[in-house]
Amino acid sequence: MNDTAARPLSILTEEESAFREAVAAFAEGEVRPRVAAMEAAAKLDPDLIPKYFEMGLMGIQVPEEFGGAGGSLMMTTIAVEEISKVDAAAAIMVDVQNTLVLYPMLRYANAAQKARFLPRLCTDTVGAYALSEAGSGSDAFGLATRAEKVEGGWSLTGRKLWITNGAEADLFVVFANADPSKGYKGITAFIVERSMPGFAVGKKEDKLGIRASSTCELILDGVCVPDENVLGSVGSGYKIAIETLNEGRIGIGAQMIGNAQGALTAAVGYVKERRQFGKALAEFQGIQFQMAQVATELEAARLMVYNATRLKDAGYDIAREGAMAKLYASQVCERVTSLAVELFGGAGYTKDYPVEKFYRDAKIGAIYEGTSNMQLHTIAKALLK
Q: Which residues have C-beta within 8 Å of that of residue 103, sequence separation ≥ 6?
A: 61, 243, 244, 247, 248
SS3 76: helix
Give residue 9's pLDDT.
62
Residue 371 — very low, low, confident or very high, per pLDDT cuts 50/70/90?
Answer: very high
Give residue 265's pLDDT.
98
Does the model's pTM come out above 0.85?
A: yes
pLDDT value at 1 more than 50: no
Distance CA 83, CA 367 (A): 20
How many Cβ atoms from other residues are within 10 Å of residue 50's Cβ? 12
Q: Report the pLDDT averaged over residues 68-89.
A: 98
For 211, which DSSP code? Answer: T
Fold of 4-126: Butyryl-Coa Dehydrogenase, subunit A; domain 1 (1.10.540)
Q: Report the pLDDT averaged over residues 105-114.
A: 98
Q: Report the pLDDT averaged over residues 300-317.
A: 97
Catalytic residue chosen out of the listed positions 16, 321, 356, 369: 369
According to CATH, where is 2.40.110.10 located in the chain? 128-235
Residue 2 — very low, low, confident or very high, per pLDDT cuts 50/70/90?
Answer: very low
Question: Whole-number mean pLDDT of the chain?
Answer: 96
Distance CA 337, CA 88 (A): 13
Give me the phi and psi of 169, to 5 degrees please.
Answer: -75, 145
Residue 217 — very low, low, confident or very high, per pLDDT cuts 50/70/90?
Answer: very high
Tens-place pLDDT, residues 314-334:
999 999 999 999 999 999 999
Class of domain 128-235: mainly beta
According to CATH, where is 1.20.140.10 located in the chain? 239-384
Q: Report the pLDDT averaged over residues 147-152.
A: 97
Q: Report the pLDDT averaged over residues 100-109.
A: 98
Measure the CA angle with vertex 246, ends 183 and 107; round to 5°: 80
SS3 203: strand
Distance CA 62, CA 69 (A): 6
Confirm whether 369 is a catalytic residue: yes
Tens-place pLDDT, residues 261-281:
999 999 999 999 999 999 999
| Superfamily grouping for domain 239-384 | Butyryl-CoA Dehydrogenase, subunit A, domain 3 (1.20.140.10)
From residue 254, give the alpha-carbon distance in Å to each of 129, 178, 251: 18, 34, 5
pLDDT value at 5 more than 70: no
Buried b / exposed e along 165-185 (16+ C-beta atoms within 10 A):
bbbbbebbbbbbbbeeeeebb
pLDDT value at 7 more than 90: no
pLDDT value at 10 more than 90: no
According to CATH, where is 1.10.540.10 located in the chain? 4-126
Tens-place pLDDT, residues 276-295:
999 999 999 999 999 999 99
